[in-house]
Amino acid sequence: MPVHIGRVNTRFTVSLFEVAGSAAQNTNENKLLREIRIPIEQTTELTQFQPLYVAVGKVEGISVTTEFVDKLHVQSIDNLSELPKNPLCWQGIDTLLYETKQLSGSQAQGLIDRLTQWVQQGGHLVVFPGSDPEDFMKSRLAQSLPVTFDGIAQVRDFSRLESFVGEPTRIRNRTAVSIPLAKEFDGKIIVNGLSGPLIIRCPWGLGRVTVVGVNLNERFLQQWDALPQLYRLLAELPETGEKKSVANSKLLTKAGLTDFKTQWDAALSDFQIQTPSVWLPLGCLLLAALLVGPFDYFLVKHVLKRPWLTWITFPSLIVLLVAWGILGIDPRYSSITEAEGKQVNNSKAVIANQCMVIDYAADTNFVRHAGYVKLFCNETGRYNIESEVRIPFGNANSAGLFAPGAVPEQSFRGYYRESGIHLDQTNYQVEPSRLKSLSTPIHESSTALFEITGSNRVTASELAKENNQPVIDHQLVSSNTNHLKGTLTHHLDNSITDWILVYGKIVYFVDEDHPLAELDPAEPLRLPSRSITQKEFTSFITGTTKEVVEHKKGPGEDLMVQRKDYDPFSTNLTSILRTVSFHETIGGKEYTSLTNIELNTWDFTPLLKLNRAILIGRLKDSTIETTVNGQSVKMLKNNCYIRLVIPVEQNLETLDRLPNYNKID
């Protein structure tokens, strides 16, 4: 189904071909059996700015949630089999609401595995029993959740649920309601009840699951006016409570950047090539006008004293100016070395920047990776791009999807023209599962972005390396003051540099010249330690400083708070990744002035709230190998970052021994 992303009035065309010979053969050489064009009226436009709910099963009362959140899209399906078989294709879903029922058939376990994989790679699942609580606890999904249920509880009082929603409406119920009783879970209680928790939220890999004990399809809840508000709070939408404002306009900001994905793309586009400023050609035009006009008049009138010679001097000046413009030195490659400049100037040369972000959840041994390849081509042509990904632990290559990438900015460079009226029909073939893009058209001195997305679970056989060590050993304990204690040891294939450890509102780090600045495999990191600096996390990222200034006249003093402004033009991938990883923690768009639409699953703020510690660092070796037309390309930037999500055990004991107040001497 050819879909032109970013074009207005896109027509969906479904083409059925008979493939002859190799599957990699060009589509134009295959036999077209049938083609159907779907009218625009029968398609639904869904932009990147619209949060997407997917309601599976009988989820009543959710459609009116659009009254609370602007541009919300709700898609209802009967069962999980209607979703794609590859969970990587579910990434556009913000929240999946599931009325859990007992699944039957041979495909039941496969459907649950897809759902589990989607959650553990960063999704948010909201589940509630759709039948009898005992049937819910016997279902395959309930047994796979990170929650242990023990028995049935009876609930009559829903006043805390009313307080959680915050709407001045009452739940009218006179009979007791049976709910599954959650006993053991690694998370927090969102809404508690007298008989047991009503709503709990638990981390699950890189994502999270919200379990609602009561059946939301009960009649008394369907008659509750605040039910849509409850759905909105359960989903944790990023636009909760926001109203229309000038900031939500589709116009670009003064910086030309509105989203982190665009800044990430701009950082990868830094090829150490200086392009001429727009003022240079404008200045040359003004200089040419000055030479052709006043200078030519002064030359033929006062110097040569032959006005008729302007027929010779005028075209001569024009020829000289044109020759100067053509033969002038191209400043684009002035910042590259001579050897690299020769390679770039080669008509077949291609240079590239690569970056890989690997996420690992220690509780589920789940791995998620996102790779980006930015190519710069010196000559217009068609290129065959192939990539290979190697995960730095488990000794196994990870499968994924590969496709050309884009940024969520509002563009105007030809993407709004109707299909078929422009000259360059750029047909090419992408093999996502094989990490290939064949016959990809790239214009002269232009760039192209390619993305690799993948996830998998590291099995026990892969974890059992030669030294029989897991990926990471962790014994971290937290007190009620959110300070970490314990040890942390990784067993990756190479060292971790530029690392920070974030837990709660505190960040742990060391100086660049410290021996622990490079964490080698099997090297323990012990907390607390005098050599490890602790700082308030928001102040560390935003550069906030506080200073007490005394009044010059009279007694008194003032507290001066200064915060460093975020630089949207920064090309430091380390700084960008740290900011995206905790965007909501440091204030979100109010601080950075950037949205986080496409990289929203990179934000670990929800996991910080669920008692998880995040270690972010940079690996010394690359994990992506890219070839263009069968040959390796020159890499200017080749970074690899890893983010480890680590469970933390809570110890809420404040005193080892309480004093005896009964005995008074």
Would you say 490 and 644 are in contact if contact means Cβ atoms under 8 Å apart? Answer: yes
Structure tokens at 326: 């053509």
Cα separation, 206 vs 123, in Å, equals 8
Encode pLDDT of 581-637 as tens digits. Answer: 999 999 888 899 898 888 989 999 999 999 999 999 999 887 888 999 988 888 888
Structure tokens at 608: 């910080």
Any long-range contacts for 64-67 (C-beta under 8 Å, 24+ apart)? 64/228, 65/228, 65/231, 65/232, 67/228
Cα separation, 445 vs 442, in Å, equals 9
In the numeric block, the tokens 């509102």 are attached to 505
Would you say 631 and 348 are in contact if contact means Cβ atoms under 8 Å apart? Answer: no
Its pTM stands at 0.81
Structure tokens at 465: 């390396």
Average pLDDT for residues 551-569, to the nearest whole number? 79
DSSP-assigned letters across all residues of 35-85: EEEEPGGGS----TTS-EEEEES--TT-GGGGGTSTT-EEEEESSGGGS-S
**pLDDT beyond 70 at 485:** yes
In the numeric block, the tokens 């027509």 are attached to 11
> Which H or E run contains 323?
helix 310-327
Contacts of 377 (CB under 8 A, 6+ apart): 350, 383, 442, 443, 444, 445, 446, 447, 448
Count CB-CB contacts under 10 A for residue 171.
18
In the chain, the percentage of residues whose pLDDT exceeds 90 is 29
**pLDDT beyond 70 at 249:** no
What pLDDT shows up at residue 204? Answer: 94
What pLDDT shows up at residue 545? Answer: 77
What pLDDT shows up at residue 244? Answer: 41
Encode pLDDT of 115-158 as tens digits. Answer: 999 999 999 999 999 878 888 998 888 999 999 998 899 998 89
CA 72 to chain centre: 20
What pLDDT shows up at residue 549? Answer: 73
Binned at pLDDT 50, 70 and 90, residue 654 comes out as: very low
Structure tokens at 136: 């819910």
What domains lie within the chain, and their CATH numbers? Answer: 1-42 (no CATH), 46-245 (3.40.50.880), 279-334 (no CATH), 460-650 (no CATH)
Of residues 481 and 230, more confidently modeled: 230
Binned at pLDDT 50, 70 and 90, residue 580 comes out as: very high
Cα separation, 360 vs 614, in Å, equals 10
Would you say 153 and 179 are in contact if contact means Cβ atoms under 8 Å apart? Answer: yes
> Which residues on adjacent β-strands are paired with residue 177?
155
What pLDDT shows up at residue 295? Answer: 81
**pLDDT beyond 90 at 315:** no
Q: Please tell me what DSSP assigns to residue 347.
A: T
Binned at pLDDT 50, 70 and 90, residue 423 comes out as: very low
468: region left, alpha or beta (phi > 0 left; psi from -120 to 50 alpha): left
**pLDDT beyond 80 at 40:** no
Least confident of 11-15, 452-456, 595-599: 11-15
Cα separation, 457 vs 462, in Å, equals 10
Query: Nearest 5 degrees, angle CA 48-CA 52-CA 53?
Result: 175
In the chain, the percentage of residues whose pLDDT exceeds 70 is 80
Amino acid identity of residue 647, one-letter, is: P
Spatial CA neighbour of 600 closest among 233, 92, 251, 98: 92
Of residues 64 and 212, more confidently modeled: 212
Alpha carbon distances (Å) from 561 to 484, 543, 552, 589: 28, 10, 18, 20
What pLDDT shows up at residue 650? Answer: 82
Binned at pLDDT 50, 70 and 90, residue 664 comes out as: very low
Structure tokens at 617: 């660092």
In the numeric block, the tokens 């469970």 are attached to 647
**pLDDT beyond 60 at 404:** yes
Encode pLDDT of 469-478 as tens digits. Answer: 778 889 999 8
Cα separation, 607 vs 205, in Å, equals 10
Average pLDDT for residues 220-238, to the nearest whole number? 86
Q: Please tell me what DSSP assigns to residue 303.
A: I
Binned at pLDDT 50, 70 and 90, residue 461 comes out as: low
Spatial CA neighbour of 157 closest among 192, 181, 130, 190: 192
Cα separation, 200 vs 126, in Å, equals 10
What pLDDT shows up at residue 250? Answer: 40
Binned at pLDDT 50, 70 and 90, residue 20 comes out as: low
> Which H or E run contains 234?
helix 227-235
Spatial CA neighbour of 580 closest among 549, 553, 601: 601
Cα separation, 97 vs 565, in Å, equals 38
Binned at pLDDT 50, 70 and 90, residue 345 comes out as: very low
Binned at pLDDT 50, 70 and 90, residue 51 comes out as: confident
Structure tokens at 87: 């969970």
Least confident of 170-174, 312-316, 343-347, 584-588: 343-347
> Which H or E run contains 109?
helix 108-120
Alpha carbon distances (Å) from 452 to 391, 403, 600, 647: 13, 7, 17, 27
What pLDDT shows up at residue 582? Answer: 94
Spatial CA neighbour of 358 closest among 349, 347, 366: 366
Encode pLDDT of 521-541 as tens digits. Answer: 889 999 988 889 999 999 899
**pLDDT beyond 60 at 26:** no
Contacts of 589 (CB under 8 A, 6+ apart): 247, 595, 596
Average pLDDT for residues 5-34, to the nearest whole number? 65
Contacts of 245 (CB under 8 A, 6+ apart): none
What pLDDT shows up at residue 415? Answer: 36
| Summary mean pLDDT of the chain | 80
Contacts of 650 (CB under 8 A, 6+ apart): 477, 478, 611
Alpha carbon distances (Å) from 475 to 478, 516, 526, 527, 647: 10, 18, 10, 10, 9
What pLDDT shows up at residue 460? Answer: 57
> Helices 260-268 and 573-581 sit at what angle, rounded to 10 degrees?
160
**Beta strand pairing call for 124-129 and 95-100:** parallel
**pLDDT beyond 90 at 647:** yes
What pLDDT shows up at residue 417? Answer: 39
What pLDDT shows up at residue 86? Answer: 85
The torsion of the CA quartet 187, 188, 190, 192, rounded to 10 degrees, works out to 120
